[in-house]
Structure 1
Amino acid sequence: MKKTIINNYEEFESFLGKEIGTSEYIQITQEQINKFADATLDYQWIHTDPERAAEESPFKSTIAHGYLTVSLLTYLWYCIVDVRNVKMIVNYGIEKLRFQQPVLVNDKIRAVVSLEDIRNLRGIAKIQVKIVVEIEGQKKPAYDALVTFLYHFE
């Protein structure tokens, strides 16, 4: 998949109100879910016990931690864009994060990103992107959010 290359503030600004791109799908595995549980100490059975989930869960499967899927935002974003001529990038915030549908084990997700806002703060580009994380084969997304980054261009 070809990435969108952005070299400076003006090129970022040209995407205002437009879609920047869509990532490829990535599959969420039980191994990823288990490692995330280890990292966060969140061992709720709905995530980590496939046998119990098959019997007791309304989804008949384990589901990914919502925050596991959120933690993939940076990876999905960088599958879409290649921002060049940058000294530093800061993850500044997430607003209006709304989970809409669980991601089941082995589901594939991707991000669709559009530029909602951009401001020049004395040479620092403050960008806000709307990210919709879709689940392959589902009409409802897993979640959407407004994510803010600070790009310090050279």
Structure 2
Amino acid sequence: MVVLKYKQTAANLKVYYGTCFTLISGIIIFGGLLAPALELKLGLGGTTYADFITSMHLPMQLSQVDPIVASFSGGAVGVISALMVVEVNNVKQQEHKRCKYCIGTGYLACARCANTGTLVLIEPVSTTVEGERPLSVPKTERCPNCSGSGKVMCPTCLCTGMAMASEHDPRIDPFD
């Protein structure tokens, strides 16, 4: 079984807004235009709601809105809006808990190799009496500071990505 983890962040929150508003717009169009047109023009759904109102001798103003479609549309819009508010609040809470230095990744760029993972070794140029010696090709080696990864552990959050490592973190064990 493949489980995809999707972490909602402030960067992709705009995509989430767009998706929610698209769904809400589609539901409103369905409930306001498509469902009544299908009921009246094609005769789908049995008796029309207007016929039902007439047979019950109720005011014709009630036939303007089908209660089933209206309740479906209103309920769906309400649920989507509530989920959007919950998700926005979760993103804002997570931003406050995030480490300010590594921005929640747990790692910082290696300063020794400038986040490349390799060090360029250049020999000094020496000149001789007869003339200049040509430059040699620079040699590279893996950065011993970050072991070639280009990143080092964030000392502030101890690689947790959280604002401050707590005393309950299992990596900070006083009896170890």
Considering the TM-score relative to the shorter chain, is it more than 0.5?
no
Which has the bigger relative contact order, CA under 8 A and spacing at least 6?
1
**Shorter-chain-normalised TM-score: which range?**
under 0.3
**Greater share of strand residues, 1 or 2?**
1
**Greater share of helix residues, 1 or 2?**
2
Larger Rg: 2
